[in-house]
Structures are given as structure tokens and as C-alpha cells.
Amino acid sequence: MAFGYVNWTLIALVAPWTLVFLFFDIFACRTRLAASWERWDSLRQHYVDTFGMRTGCAVFSWALDLAMLIEPLVMTLNMSRRRKVQESLVFLCSAL
């Protein structure tokens, strides 16, 4: 029961996170979307400062990844501890 709540909470966080940062990326050049594919000069003129956006994306992504990594370890699933560690190692391989 608790596993379902935690899982759906993570899904509810990941879905909007994906959409929000996708739109931030698309509209980082404000209304001039083609500026992303033009010369460097046009990027400097039309692009907004994306350092804060990228930092927020990275921090939130790291927190969600950590939550997904820890979730199988702390939840009472019908698995042995060895199986839980193996599953977590599979998730950890994505860090490479």
C-alpha cells in the first residue's frame, strides 16, 4: 500500500518536472525559437541566462534520482534484502 503511494507520488513529481523543464528549454530564446539553431551571436542576443534554470533542473533531477534509488531499499516489498540491493544496483548503473 505504501509502495503504491510513494510510486504515484514520484510519478506525479516526474511528469510535471519533465514538462516544465522541456518548455523552459524550448522557450529559453523567448519568442524567437529559431535562435537556438542560428549563429552564436544570435544566442547571446536572444537567449535568456539559463544558469539558474539548469541548476534547478540538475538539483531536482538528482533528488528524484536519489528517491528512486532508495525507494526499493526502504519499502517492504516481497523481496529478500539481496534482491533489493541487486535492484538498486541496476538503478545505480544509470549513474555511469
Average pLDDT score over the chain: 78
Q: pLDDT by residue (tens digit) across 58-75? A: 898 888 888 887 877 776
Range of the domain at 45: 2-95
The residue-averaged pLDDT of 78-90 equals: 79
Task: Evaluate if residue 83 carries a pLDDT over 70.
Answer: yes
Our count of domains for the chain comes to 1
pLDDT of residue 44: 65
What is the per-residue DSSP string for the chain? -HHHHHHHHHHHHHHHHHHHHHHHHHGGGTT-GGGGGS-HHHHHHH----HHHHHHHHHHHHHHHHHHHHHHHHS--SS-HHHHHHHHHHHHGGG-
